[in-house]
Chains A and B, each alone.
Chain A
């Protein structure tokens, strides 16, 4: 309990420092001005969401291979946390886009593939509620999770392979891409804070799923008695 409180306090401090860096330390961008400060939250949430979906993908593969419940628990925890981060991406994006593009949303390759990614992981969670038997539920959702991950490279590549309204990448974007060194440091620190938040949320969610697993075992014992 005390360990959790310390972990929570550290994450809160990191998030506070990251927000301070984004709002007061990072220089104001020349063309977009103040609104570009949304970048730090938006991009870090996107990278963290993709990281969580990667964890989910690995857990799904491990479940199919080993058939141990803990990989199923990790898979669902990572999917739910990834979904929370992707929701933040889909909400902050339009707030940034409206003053800059003059519209809230457009169906370009990056926005569409990100929205499809969000829908796929919602489907993953809905699917789990439709299968009663725990082993079958774990296997079906692991297979679906492996399929859903196919969209992650599409999201990554969409602004590299197609012409989009969404800006070109600042990382691994080829000639002309990149960031001011201070912006870069703030971005990396923000991402670190978001990874700490992801770990905290995933830990809490994993604990809950493990508890649900225990409950199912106890229920089966009661039914068998």
Chain B
């Protein structure tokens, strides 16, 4: 099976790119949620 390592490398890197992208979206969303909560809390204290 010539070049099988290249095939697996391509699939592994491909899935890794999608997974890494999904992780960045999840992290950015969590950071935004924290910002919103912080802002809402500070508004609540101001009232």
Using a CB–CB distance below 8 Å, which chain A residues touch chain B? 15, 19, 23, 33-35, 37-38, 41-42, 45, 80-81, 84, 87-88, 91-92, 95-96, 98-99, 197, 201, 204-205, 207-208, 211-212, 214-215, 218-219, 221-222, 225
Q: Determine the residue in chain A with the shortest Cβ distance to B26.
A: A204
Q: How far is the CA of A201 from the CA of B10 in the complex (A)?
A: 21
In the complex, are the beta carbons of B36 and A95 less than 8 A apart? no
In the complex, are the beta carbons of A87 and B17 less than 8 A apart? yes
CB distance from B46 to the nearest CB of A (A): 7
Residues on B with C-beta less than 8 A from A225 are 43, 46
B1-47 residues with Cβ-Cβ distance < 8 A to A are 1-4, 6-7, 9-11, 13-15, 17-18, 21-22, 25-26, 28-29, 32-33, 35-36, 39-40, 42-43, 46
Q: How far is the CA of A86 from the CA of B3 in the complex (A)?
A: 23
Q: How far is the CA of A7 from the CA of B46 in the complex (A)?
A: 40
Using a CB–CB distance below 8 Å, which chain B residues touch chain A? 1-4, 6-7, 9-11, 13-15, 17-18, 21-22, 25-26, 28-29, 32-33, 35-36, 39-40, 42-43, 46
Q: 5 A–B contact pairs at CB < 8 A?
A: A35-B3, A35-B6, A88-B17, A208-B28, A215-B35
A34-B4, A35-B2 in contact; A41/B11 too (CB < 8 A)?
yes
Residues on B with C-beta less than 8 A from A211 are 29, 32-33, 36
In the complex, are the beta carbons of B6 and A98 less than 8 A apart? yes
In the complex, are the beta carbons of B35 and A208 less than 8 A apart? no
Q: How far is the CA of A159 from the CA of B7 in the complex (A)?
A: 24
In the complex, are the beta carbons of A197 and B33 less than 8 A apart? no
Q: State which of B1, B7, B17, B35 has its C-beta within 8 Å of the C-beta of A91.
A: B17
A23-B7, A215-B35 in contact; A34/B17 too (CB < 8 A)?
no
Residues on B with C-beta less than 8 A from A42 are 10
A23-B7, A211-B32 in contact; A218/B22 too (CB < 8 A)?
no
Which 8 residue pairs are nearest across A and B when measured between Cβ atoms?
A35-B3, A208-B29, A84-B21, A95-B10, A92-B10, A38-B10, A88-B14, A211-B32
Residues on B with C-beta less than 8 A from A218 are 36, 39-40, 43
In the complex, are the beta carbons of B25 and A204 less than 8 A apart? yes
CB distance from B44 to the nearest CB of A (A): 12
In the complex, are the beta carbons of A37 and B14 less than 8 A apart? no
